Amino acid sequence: MAAVDSWSWFPALALGVSFLKCLFITAYHSTDFEVHRNWLAITHSLPVSRWYHENTSEWTLDYPPLFAWFELGLSHAARHFDPDMLLVENLNYASPSTVLFQRLSVIFTDLLFIYAARECCRCVQDQKGSRDVLNRPSFVLAVLLLWNFGLLIVDHIHFQYNGFLFGFLLLSVAKHLQRQHLQGALLFSVLLNLKHIYLYVAPAYGVYLLRSYCFTQDNKDGSVSWSSFSPLRLLALGGIVASVCALSFGPFIAMGQLPQVLSRLFPFKRGLCHAYWAPNIWALYNTLDKILATLGVRLKLLQEAGLPRASMTGGLVQEFQHSVLPSVTPSITLVCTLLSILPAVASIWFRPRGARGFLRCLLLCALGSFVFGWHVHEKAILIAILPLSILAVENREDAGIFLVLTTTGHYSLFPLLFTPAELPIKVSLMLLFTIYSFTALRKLYSGRGSLLRPLESVYLLGLVGVAFACEVAFPLSPWQQKLPFLPLLATSVYCSLGVCYSFLRLYASLLRPPGKPKQP
């Protein structure tokens, strides 16, 4: 293929996916749509002092203040579409203009994500003289990021602003890869103040910046050179973080509302698991507990009446009480999470491997928090999948891990779109993305054997079986009435295996002794 401008394919990809997003405007949207409409109404109609106290709707404001300011900005545009959506009393208001505005706002704010994706593509090295555009790492990365299945269905069908937020994350990562650490730190502080879930990856940032930015030099053997500590740089970083937080929380601290805001941000009353269990270790733990309980009752070791009635059939959020195994409290999950990310964080302190080591640590922090965290949403898997795409186009082993994690993670998002009308879309898009990721990455690393180990291939094929069973076979079977939660349980458990496995493999690649030759 000749005469294609270098990088002219990028606008084509971005425009194509944006057109596709427009077609989903009338698709199903979840309660998150009402959540954001409510926040538009709250920030527009009420004074700042009432924002974190307002509870007319059950969907109270539970993102940090910078996001509230963002919603305020959007609400001024919303006024021109349909002013009625900005009335707090209009619960579940969803006129066509409201839907159009909200959908367009997500598509529009995705521009930041598109820009961030472009910056990440620029950080990825292309082989000199590769004529075939389709086979360049930057092209593959662009498709994996822009056309990411999870982001498309969570943002543009289910409805959220993840594209906008991931734009900040990926841009911050790109800045660090380009060695512009202050900009990266600024972007990450803004991100933290937009959605505090990114606290998961804050340790990676903190340790990396401290070790590789504040200490300007390393000793010959790679250990810390204490004399090269630069207080100026530390001050600069601290100043950036402090000023962003001041901008965001300042008004609320001044009004003495900080405890209230924090209680909204960290509602630990919610249960160990979301109504649909995210595919993490606790899903396996819960299942084991259930199996042991059932076995115990069968073998007459336990009294059935003594067991707490656990309803897994749905509803909003509830405490799941364990019957056999010890209960898990938030503190336990916090300890487990910290223990799981400790080796990663220690690794980039004692053996810094540059910006890519930082990226790997970031991934491990994200995955560790996903696997061991309290009340994790399955959508959080995207925090691991998107940055892993960058590593996948550069490193063969990471490509293999990426294929397992992405396919599993994306499939675990299926229960989010449970309406029959959206079934063809989610299946076709999933197949589209999966076929692309497999064939493109295979072509990128062609000639060096298979990317996947046999066991992994078997596991992924099994995923097809699980999908068929849950989407087709089960709804037509007699158990549909008696055990409606079974497909969710099966999906959860099966995917947790893949996610935990990917976590372990990523750890192995980070902790591998430096003597071993790095895979190209």
Under the rule (CB under 8 A), what is the footprint of other proteins?
Answer: 1-4, 8, 12, 15-16, 19-20, 22-27, 134, 420-421, 424-425, 428-429, 431-432, 435-436, 439-440, 443
Shortest spacing between CB 203 and other proteins, in angstroms: 39
User: In the bound complex, what is the minimum distance in angstroms from residue 468's beta carbon to other proteins?
Assistant: 17
| Least distance from other proteins to the Cβ atom of residue 328, Å | 40
CB of 19 to other proteins, least distance (A): 4
Distance CA 276, CA 283 (A): 10
From the CB of 146, what's the least distance to other proteins, in Å?
14
Cβ closer to other proteins: 145 or 359? Answer: 145
> Looking at the DSSP assignment, which residues form a beta bridge with residue 375?
none
Cβ proximity to other proteins, 143 vs 390, nearer residue: 143
What is the CA angle 345-350-351, rounded to 5? 95
Count of CB atoms within 10 A of residue 39's CB? 25
Shortest reach from residue 17's CB to other proteins, in Å: 11
- Strand, helix or coil for residue 311: coil
Report how far apart, in Å, the C-alpha atoms of 80 and of each of 27, 94, 102, 119 are: 23, 15, 12, 33
Closer residue to other proteins (CB): 18 or 519: 18
In a 3-state reduction of DSSP, which class is residue 147? coil
How many angstroms separate the CA atoms of 139 and 10, rounded?
8
229 — phi, psi (to 5°)?
-65, 135
Instruction: Tell me how far, at minimum, the Cβ of 24 lies from other proteins, in Å.
Output: 6
Q: Is 79 helix (H, G, I), strand (E, B) or coil?
A: coil
Nearer to other proteins, 204 or 425 (CB): 425
Q: How far apart are CA 359 and CA 188, in angstroms?
A: 13
Identity of the residue, 152 or 391, whose beta carbon is nearer to other proteins in the bound complex: 152
Asked if residues 275 and 315 have their Cβ atoms less than 8 Å apart, the reply is yes
Burial of 485: CB neighbours in 10 Å, binned 0-12, 13-18, 19+: middle
Judged by beta carbon, residue 39 or residue 149, the one nearer other proteins is 149
Q: How far apart are CA 310 and CA 328, in angstroms?
A: 15
Q: Are 51 and 265 in contact (CB under 8 A)?
A: no
